[in-house]
């Protein structure tokens, strides 16, 4: 008769590591979907804007060796509330683990982009090799967007209910950088709105 108790032995180490890596992959996949699955319905809505940018961000095992720590960092990243929180986590990661490699930099940049989208009431960003398309949510300041279009010297235009920035890029990193530049440009136009 076999006991219901299971005593751990060293032969279980490999399967335990596999289970941890599998759990980490599920958390990472969930975080990736979180970054790109929900729409922002209003300026105060805490749902997540959809980011369609082929710029994968992740925490490599050779940067943060402990799977549990990586999972906790992904979970914390998913819960960040604003860009200041992203900056604080970025500083903490640098202090604990040293200068982050490119995938971690991209993961933090995607978190910053997500927060800027929330601030600008952007529901979705599609960034491809020829252009960046922004879908704004209800409640977006259309006046500031029109001012941004006027100041863009033809670089921004409305097409099919989306704001298009025609800007060619060769890499996913350039698309991510340009998406951040576009949101900063829109933010600047919003700050310079005329008095009511």
pLDDT at 120: 80
Most confident of the ranges 5-14, 101-110, 138-147: 101-110
Quick one: which of 78, 103, 74, 108 has its CA closest to 90?
A: 108
Full-model pTM: 0.73
Structure tokens at 56: 């994968």
Length of the chain: 196
Average pLDDT, the chain: 79
Between 52 and 17, the more confident residue is 52
Residue 166 DSSP one-character state? E
| pLDDT tens string 139-194 | 888 888 888 899 888 889 999 889 999 888 899 889 999 999 999 888 888 787 66
The answer regarding whether domain 18-191 maps to CATH 3.30.1330.60 reads: no
pLDDT band at 121 (very low <50, low <70, confident <90, very high): confident
Map out the domains of the chain as residue ranges: 18-191
Rounded mean pLDDT of 15-31?
Answer: 55
């Amino acid at each position: 008769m076999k006991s219901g108790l299971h005593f751990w032995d060293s032969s279980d180490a490999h399967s335990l590591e596999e289970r941890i890596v599998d759990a980490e992959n599920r958390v990472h996949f969930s975080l990736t979907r979180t970054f790109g699955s929900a729409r922002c319905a209003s300026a105060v809505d805490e749902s997540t804007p959809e980011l369609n940018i082929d710029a994968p961000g992740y925490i490599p095992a050779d940067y943060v060796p402990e799977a549990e720590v990586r999972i906790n960092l992904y979970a914390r990243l998913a819960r960040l509330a604003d860009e200041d929180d992203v900056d604080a986590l970025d500083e903490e990661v640098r202090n604990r683990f040293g200068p982050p490699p490119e995938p971690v930099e991209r993961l933090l940049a995607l978190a910053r982009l997500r927060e800027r989208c929330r601030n600008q009431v952007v529901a979705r960003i599609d960034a491809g090799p020829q252009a960046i398309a922004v879908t704004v949510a209800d409640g977006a300041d259309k006046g500031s967007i029109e001012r941004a279009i006027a100041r863009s010297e033809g670089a921004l235009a409305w097409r099919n209910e989306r704001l298009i920035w025609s800007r060619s890029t060769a890499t996913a990193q350039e698309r991510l950088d340009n998406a951040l530049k576009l949101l900063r440009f829109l933010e600047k136009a919003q700050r310079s709105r005329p008095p009511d």
